[in-house]
């Protein structure tokens, strides 16, 4: 059985659909209820306190199921985390510790490792200045690990927790270790199906969704701002590829993955290409800009490509032409994009 925390988000939706289609039993957990059609595809759904990874009720209830794999998606994202860092730390760190402890407990009972898949982030990187950032064209997993945000700090800490549970858990007591932790450092994810929900990289999907609805958009970063992005289907693909990779192929527990790294103006230009009436202006929020400036320009994902064959399906042009524009147009059905 597969447990998915934070299951009500789009990544959770897509995973439930894919796993249910294969006949894999899914236990979904989220503080919010799932749509009825999606809930019907799950063996059980934990909501409210039982779906809250910070609640003792979550561990107590989840421990009653024969869980063999966990996709731990529950998190408070970067912008929301800066507005309430205490809550974000509780959800992002304490919640992850609860999930890892649950995995260890289930593994001990089954005498078989429980895999924990963890979506991390480029927010774990932190550069002190634009000049320092520009000297590193594509950051490796071991570089610039000086995050400036609570979100990045928490994710980096949880990566280390996962490595601890996998490699060093209770090492003085000689306890057996039953956690198989694997993490992906995601770039900004652009989805056509769900609205942005508190990420500092949300200017990219916000531009697109606003244009598709015919709503003017004021971008909160400079036109020259460049960070890596990925289409949501590739994010799902990467999670599943790493989950399915044989353990002996993995040289590390945490991997970068990338797809494309446009500037904000390049994103605006391609949005205008498909939605010529789009109104996109710039109103830089210096505080949010400073956060984005601390992140990397691009990622070196050569380890993922070498170890488990990572290759994105969507580059920048294809992401808009074949996934984003058709899907947001279907979603809103108000604006007809220009055919390219």
The tens digit of pLDDT for each residue in 315-337 reads 999 999 999 999 999 999 754 55
The pLDDT of residue 338: 59
Q: Is the residue at 8 inside a domain?
A: no
Identify the pLDDT of residue 193.
Answer: 82
**CATH value at residue 84:** 3.40.50.720
At residue 164, the 3 state secondary structure works out as helix
pLDDT of residue 10: 81
Between CA 272 and CA 216 the distance in angstroms is 12
Pick the catalytic residue from 125, 151, 314, 323: 151
Q: Evaluate whether residue 39 is within a structural domain.
A: no
Give how far Cα 209 sits from Cα of 174, 191, 196, 213, Å: 53, 9, 9, 6
The predicted pLDDT at position 337 comes to 58
Mean confidence (pLDDT) of the chain? 95
Residue 111: domain span: 75-189+229-259+298-312
User: Distance between CA 311 and CA 267 in Å, rounded?
Assistant: 22
The predicted model gives 279-297 an average pLDDT of 97
How large is the greatest C-alpha to C-alpha distance in the chain, in angstroms? 65
When pLDDT is averaged across residues 152-166 and rounded to a whole number, the result is 98
- Measure the CA–CA gap between 65 and 119, rounded to whole angstroms: 23
Q: What is the pLDDT of residue 336?
A: 52
Q: Is the residue at 48 inside a domain?
A: no
Q: Strands, E, within 145-264: which ranges?
A: 179-186, 188-190, 217-219, 229-231, 254-256
Write phi, then psi, for 134 (nearest 5 degrees): -70, -15
38 belongs to a structural domain: no
Q: Which residues contact 291 (CB under 8 A, 6 or more apart)?
A: 78, 82, 148, 149, 200
- CA 77, CA 64: separation in Å to the nearest integer? 29
Q: How far is CA 303 from CA 11, 237, 250, 254, in A?
A: 23, 16, 9, 10
Closest CA to 212 of 282, 281, 277, 262: 277
Name the nearest CA neighbour of 152 among 177, 127, 123.
Answer: 123
Q: Is residue 105 part of a domain?
A: yes
Residue 269 lies in a domain: no
- In this prediction, residues 68-95 reach a mean pLDDT of 96
Answer yes or no: is 37 within a domain. Answer: no
Q: Does residue 241 lie in a domain region?
A: yes
Mean pLDDT of all residues in 36-59: 97
pTM of the model: 0.94
Q: Is 151 a catalytic residue?
A: yes
* Tokens representing residue 12 in the block: 């959770």
Domain count, the chain: 1
Neighbours of 277 (CB within 10 A): 9
């Amino acid at each position: 059985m597969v447990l998915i925390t934070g299951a009500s988000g789009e990544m959770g939706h897509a995973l439930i659909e894919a796993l249910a289609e294969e006949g894999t039993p899914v236990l979904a957990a989220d503080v919010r209820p799932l749509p009825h059609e999606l809930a019907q595809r799950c063996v059980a759904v934990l909501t409210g306190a039982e779906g809250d990874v910070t609640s003792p009720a979550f561990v107590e209830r989840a421990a009653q199921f024969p869980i063999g794999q966990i996709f731990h998606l529950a998190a408070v994202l970067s912008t929301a985390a800066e507005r309430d860092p205490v809550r974000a730390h509780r959800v992002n760190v304490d919640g992850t510790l609860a999930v890892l402890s649950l995995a260890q407990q289930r593994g001990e009972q089954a005498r078989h490792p429980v895999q924990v898949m963890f979506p991390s982030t480029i927010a774990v990187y932190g550069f002190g200045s634009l000049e320092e950032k520009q000297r590193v064209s594509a950051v490796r997993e071991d570089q610039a690990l000086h995050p400036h945000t609570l979100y990045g700090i928490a994710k980096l800490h949880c990566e280390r927790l996962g490595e601890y549970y996998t490699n060093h858990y209770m090492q003085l007591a000689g306890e057996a270790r039953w956690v198989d932790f694997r993490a992906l450092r995601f770039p900004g994810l652009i989805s056509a199906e769900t609205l942005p929900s508190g990420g500092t990289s949300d200017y990219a999907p916000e531009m697109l969704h606003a244009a598709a609805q015919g709503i003017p958009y004021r971008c909160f970063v400079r036109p020259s701002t460049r960070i890596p992005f990925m289409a949501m289907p590739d994010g799902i693909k990467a999670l599943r590829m790493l989950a399915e990779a044989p353990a002996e192929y993995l040289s590390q527990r945490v991997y970068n993955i990338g797809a494309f790294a446009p500037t904000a103006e390049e994103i605006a230009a391609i949005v205008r290409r498909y939605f010529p009436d789009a109104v996109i202006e710039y109103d830089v929020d210096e505080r949010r800009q400073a956060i984005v400036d601390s992140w990397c320009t691009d990622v070196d994902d050569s380890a993922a490509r070498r170890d488990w064959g990572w290759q994105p399906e969507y580059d920048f042009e294809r992401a808009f032409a074949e996934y984003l524009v058709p899907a947001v147009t279907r979603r809103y059905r108000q604006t007809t994009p220009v055919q390219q």
